[in-house]
Every structure is written in C-alpha cells, then in structure tokens.
Chain A
C-alpha cells in the first residue's frame, strides 16, 4: 500500500490534511452551539490547586454555573501569578483569583482595582527546613543560607521577610532565589540545594514522613491573617449592573463553598478528588487529608463563613511588612480598594 507514496501523493495528502485542520474550528463552534445558556464569565485563577485552593476552584468550576443566569465560567489557569491581575486590568478577564501583592502594587501604581472577596483568608503555605542542617531562621541568616520562593516580592517572600524582621534579622542576610512550583522547591530542599522553602501544609506533612523536615514558620502564628489570594476586578467593570450581579453570584458561590468546607469534611474530600492539581493529593486517604482539613478549617481559619476578615483594617495589618521590604510604598487607599458591597449583598441573599 505504501509503494504508491511519491512526491505528488505527499503533496495531495498534505493539502487534504490542511483542509481537515481548516474545518477543525467549525467542529468547535458546533460544540458551542449545544452548550448551556447563560452568561459565561472569564475568570483567571492560579495554575495549580493545593488543598487550600480547592474550595475556590469548586466554587468557580461547579458553583457559578448553578447560579441563575450564569453558565459555567471560563476558568483560566495562569502560571505567572502577577499575570492574573494584569489580564483583569487589561480587560481580558472579568474577574481574577489573584494574589494580594500584585493587586495592591497595581492599585498603588494607579490601577482602578477593587478587591471584592477572598479566595481564602489565610495562606496554608509554611516555611520548611531540614532540621538536621538548620534549626531556625536565625541559623539560616547567620550562615548566609538560601531560601527558595516562588518569586521575589510575592506574598510568601514578604511574609518571610516580615518574620525575619520580627526576629531582628536583616532579610538581606538571607539569599532569596526564585524557584517555580512548590513541588520543585520541595525537591530542592530534599536535594540540599536550599536551606528552607515555602510549601503547602499538605506537602509539609508528606515531606515530614521522609526525614527531619520541620516547619520553621507558620504564617497564621506570625500574623492574624496572612492574606494571599483575593477575588478582584476593576472599578470600571463593576459599574455595569449585569457585572454587579455577576460579582454577587460569584461571591455567593465562593461563600457556599467555604461554608461546605467548614462543616463537611466529606464534601471537601470529594472536591479535592475532583479539583486538586497534585495526583498525590487527589488520591490522599483520610489519614493524610483529614489533618490537612482540620488545620485549614480550625487552626488557619482559611475559609471564614462570611469572609469577615475582608476589611481595610485587617489588610492594614499586613501592609507594614510589604512596606518594610519595599514591595509597597504604603500609599494605597485600602478603603477604596476593598469593596465589601457585593460580598454583603451575597451574604444577605444566602441568608
């Protein structure tokens, strides 16, 4: 059958292939024709979902679509965290499940941004070290050690720098390096290439089983709330009535997800199996997942039922740490940026 292959048959087959490819988008549009009706919001979110991100992911991926007038949103994972806010500012996305650091920095630079909700209230990342080698932040600083963070200037870098300052340690005595995902950082720690790394609580618990890897810093013990991810959009977007309704619908979905997580471990476990990024976390059994859930809901208090912690006063408490490391000038008007209007409406409607 292949004896007939020659220059002309290859050219003909190539042209045929191109025609098929050209028809591909038509197949996509046909699929869209049968999709559910309702407004499709574009919501940027983090590329990977740890346990603490799961309630937010569940809210976006299955909750919003159940709200009247809304179809399942176009949830758009984004690897570069600052890009989440950048796209919202550029008008390429309706809402962002963005990080606090880049949102506040953009607001301080003059972007018309509003923080309307929380993706979770308190970070679940902890600073872990191999205690066979170093036992404290003081020891790391004294030997000019290295700590890997996702990106210098992000919320975990600032949290850590703030924790160092609280211990009267100059953050400049520590070498901060940037390193991709929390999985990459964990591997760098295991390899002994760095002295400490931030990682999610579930990864820290898993790593503890592999050796003397202990938590040196727990942000919830250093600060009341170490905000990291929030629901944000622009002031201009919120002017239209249909967008106001959309903001309330998304927040209702997130609040419902928070409440379900707090009261029902079984629900949380199901959502982890569905929306967590890590295969290990998805497959986690109760002996691993339940302590994580208990830590998230009771010690970290990551999912306040009514997002009570979303206030300018609570945010003002973390600003000094951002100022101290130069991540913010501290001129941002939190009363303008933090807008509880839609949250309060969502709480009222859920009641």
Chain B
C-alpha cells in the first residue's frame, strides 16, 4: 500500500513536470522556463557562494524570530486555552493580527527599526506568533477531561495536572504549531528580505531582472526544497517523539 502510494506520488510529479516542459517549450524561457532549464539554473545557482551566504543569512535570522514566536506563542496559546480571562483579553488581538500580511507591515517596521536583526526578527515574530497561539489554544482546549479527572481523583494539584497531564498531551500539538509557524516564518522572512533586497529575497529580486525566468524559478524551487525539508524534519521528529499521536491520526 505504502509502496503503491509512493508510485502514484511519483507519477503525479512526472505528469506535472511533463506538462510544464511542454508548456515551457511552447512559451519560451522569457515567460516559462522548462524544468530542464530550471534544473540547469538550479545547479548553477547552488554552485555560487552568494546563494549559500544568502541562505544562511535568511535562515539564521528567521530562526531567531521563529524561536521567539514559539517561546512566547506556546505558553500564551496554552494560557488562552485553559484560562478564560486570558482568552478574553488576547483573543480579539489574535483574531486581528493573524490576518495582517507581512507586506503590509514591512515598510513601517523598516522606518521604526531599520533593517538589521531586530527588524527581521520582529517581522517573523509578528507574523508567526499568532498562528502558534491559535493552534495551541485549540490544543489546550482539547485536552481530554477524562485524563484530568483521573489526575484529580489521584489528588493531583493544579501544577501536577499541568506538568503530568496537560503538558505531555500538548506535545504533538506543539510540533504541529511548530510546523505551521515555520511555513509562515519562512514566508514572512522572504517578504521582508525582498523589501530590503537582502539575503535570499535580494537574490529573488535580482533574478526577476533577467529576461529568462529560469534563475527565478531555480530560486523558487530551492525555497520549496528548503521548506519541504524543514517541515518534513519536524514531522519526522513529531512522529518519533509522539508515536501515540501519529498512530491515532494515521499519519505516516
């Protein structure tokens, strides 16, 4: 079954690549570079030092904002899920801020904070934290009352119930929040870097100036590979560290 689904996945990818190749050959590389041209451009791109320097610069700064979003978002989300007062205070703000796009706030943040580490960390944090908060709020609400009642019947106090029941049961959801947050953090960081034409965003800007679309698509493909690799790594960690949840959801 698993082998079969892999084959179907592969066939799906090959079909899209074949259609893309045909469309690209028809339209020309100024409009749509073919997968072969993109692959060549990708090989050229990854051989340059500028690519790796830009990638490192982007990932390092993004991880800082992302980590901050997790450190603040997870406890805040749990508090919202378990304490009605906190939920009443924070929820309206979370509902409003979650719809703000990075592109809308970047110009303001540049003027307020300049273009350094504080700027990129702040953009990633502001865009990411609300997704983490909302995910963790729902997770904290869904902790099984049965488990909490069992703990109560064993005379566990509030702290013990949190430490030994709520926290372990939240673990899979922390990993989900981390995965959701990571995608938004990456998008926010790219947007921020495109505005200040630095790092990976700067490479995307520069590639946009070429008449051929191959260098641009090569960078987009590289970005997709990075995103898929990072989220897959988080999924793998989640499955290894919370096998009970993975088996329950049927997620492989």
Contact B28 A190 (CB under 8 A): yes
Bound form: Cα–Cα A18–B64 in Å: 8
Contact B202 A280 (CB under 8 A): no
Chain B 102-123, CB within 8 Å of chain A: the 1/0 string? Answer: 0000010011001101000000
Contact A92 B110 (CB under 8 A): yes
Contact B209 A48 (CB under 8 A): yes
Is A21 interfacial (CB 8 A cutoff)?
A: yes
Q: Shortest distance in angstroms between B162's beta carbon and chain A's nearest beta carbon? A: 15
Bound form: Cα–Cα A257–B242 in Å: 62
Contact A18 B195 (CB under 8 A): no
Is A191 interfacial (CB 8 A cutoff)?
A: yes
Bound form: Cα–Cα A79–B28 in Å: 28
Contact B30 A210 (CB under 8 A): yes
Contact A181 B209 (CB under 8 A): yes
Q: Shortest distance in angstroms between A82's beta carbon and chain B's nearest beta carbon? A: 9
Contact B197 A183 (CB under 8 A): no
Comparing A5-13, A102-110, A155-163, the segment that makes contact with chain B is A5-13
Contact A21 B64 (CB under 8 A): yes
Is A90 interfacial (CB 8 A cutoff)?
A: yes
Comparing B130-138, B210-218, B222-230, the segment that makes contact with chain A is B210-218
Bound form: Cα–Cα A340–B200 in Å: 38
B63, B107, B197: residue with the most chain A Cβ atoms closer than 10 Å: B197
Bound form: Cα–Cα A74–B173 in Å: 42
Contact B202 A183 (CB under 8 A): no
Contact A277 B209 (CB under 8 A): yes
Bound form: Cα–Cα A87–B194 in Å: 17
* A49-106 contacts to B (CB < 8 Å): 50, 76-80, 83, 86-87, 90, 92
Bound form: Cα–Cα A25–B121 in Å: 12
B-side contacts of A183, CB under 8 Å: 208-211
Is A144 interfacial (CB 8 A cutoff)?
A: no
A-side contacts of B111, CB under 8 Å: 83, 86-87, 90, 92
A-side contacts of B211, CB under 8 Å: 183, 186-187, 190, 203, 206-207, 210, 280
Is A184 interfacial (CB 8 A cutoff)?
A: yes
Pick from B60, B175, B197: contact of A77, CB under 8 Å: B197
Is B171 interfacial (CB 8 A cutoff)?
A: yes
Chain A 29-53, CB within 8 Å of chain B: the 1/0 string? Answer: 0000000000000000001101000
B-side contacts of A277, CB under 8 Å: 205-206, 209
Contact A76 B31 (CB under 8 A): no
Contact A278 B197 (CB under 8 A): no
Q: Given A28-B117, A187-B30, decide whether A7 and B197 contact each other with a Cβ distance below 8 A.
A: no
Task: Give the interface SS of chain A, mostly helix, strand, loop or mixed.
Answer: helix
- Chain A: interface size category: 35 or more
Pick from B31, B110, B114, B175: contact of A191, CB under 8 Å: B31
Pick from A6, A17, A278: contact of B240, CB under 8 Å: A6
Is A180 interfacial (CB 8 A cutoff)?
A: yes
A-side contacts of B197, CB under 8 Å: 47-48, 77-79
Q: Given A7-B171, A77-B196, decide whether A180 and B210 contact each other with a Cβ distance below 8 A.
A: no
Is B241 interfacial (CB 8 A cutoff)?
A: yes
Pick from B30, B107, B207, B208: contact of A190, CB under 8 Å: B30
Pick from A48, A90, A190: contact of B205, CB under 8 Å: A48
B-side contacts of A79, CB under 8 Å: 194-197, 205
Is B12 interfacial (CB 8 A cutoff)?
A: no
Bound form: Cα–Cα A181–B117 in Å: 26
Is B67 interfacial (CB 8 A cutoff)?
A: yes
Contact B242 A17 (CB under 8 A): no
The residue of chain B having its C-beta at the shortest distance from the C-beta of A89 within the complex is: B111
Q: Given A24-B60, A79-B194, A86-B111, decide whether A10 and B237 contact each other with a Cβ distance below 8 A.
A: yes
A-side contacts of B150, CB under 8 Å: none
B-side contacts of A10, CB under 8 Å: 171, 175, 237, 240-241
Contact B241 A278 (CB under 8 A): no
Q: Which residues of B come within 8 Å of A, CB atoms?
A: 27-28, 30-31, 60, 63-64, 67, 71, 107, 110-111, 114-115, 117, 168, 171, 175, 194-198, 202, 205-213, 215, 237, 240-242
